[in-house]
Structure 1
Amino acid sequence: MRTLVQYNQLPSFFDHLVSREFNRHFNAPAKTALPAVNIKEDETAYHLELAAPGLKKENFEISLNNSQLTISAKLEQASEEKTENFTRKEFSFNSFERSFRLPKNINSEQIQAAYTDGILKVDLPKVEKPVVEPKQIAVA
């Protein structure tokens, strides 16, 4: 006697379609959009430009830990309207976090950041490599 019952499963396409629509309408997590980042390199530094309009410089937190640069921002907004018959409160909370693994030739003491016109600019200066000149070593 068999203890396991075999059955035909629904085709994977159909199953995917049903679960996608179900999640979309009932329990889909909110999608967070990460800001776009441009990375440029020249002889002296790397330059990051992060598009984050609508924020203030106080909303950003930039940290460096073990050659990993982390840029995050939090924005909380709340409004309240009171009248005789009702009170309406609305609030929103948005946040993001981006991390970048930095190369070893970054001078971490001179990293600078500025936020202007919706663009966060982070300058990551490179460490100047010492010029190694050929040298003769005498044998004793």
Structure 2
Amino acid sequence: CAWPLSLLLYTPILDKEVEGEYLDQKEPLKIPGCKPVRPEDVAKPMMNRKDPEYESFISIASEIGVMSDGILVNTWEDLEPTSLKAMREDPEWKQILKVPVYTFGPMIRPGGSSSPRGEVLGWLDMQPNASVIYISF
């Protein structure tokens, strides 16, 4: 999803803008292109700014947007158009995100014996030729 990625990547800016602990904030945190984030919904490493895990989180967030060749997100354009557009075009985002964001999906985990194979193949058959790539991890 683009939302957790947005929160991660935008954390270095929030770190400079927000005073005190995130959990103590009265207002939701604003991230361009995303719905405001309630302070209690921040990622676990953000819950205690004095914890060394927080510094690691900030470091990782700062590096991802500039040191990688691109970012793959398990979503698709029609699901999160506002977040994706902001990440690609918003001036604030351009300060921290220097690499392209690519969407792929829907990526699903097959269930036990009743795999959604028929649904996936049906969806795939409806897509234009050469518009879907296969990625295997």
TM-score by length of 2: 0.24
Specify which structure has the higher proportion of helix: 2
- Bigger relative contact order (CA 8 A; separation at least 6): 2
Under a length normalisation based on structure 1, what TM-score does the superposition of the two structures give?
0.24
Bigger-Rg structure (1/2): 1
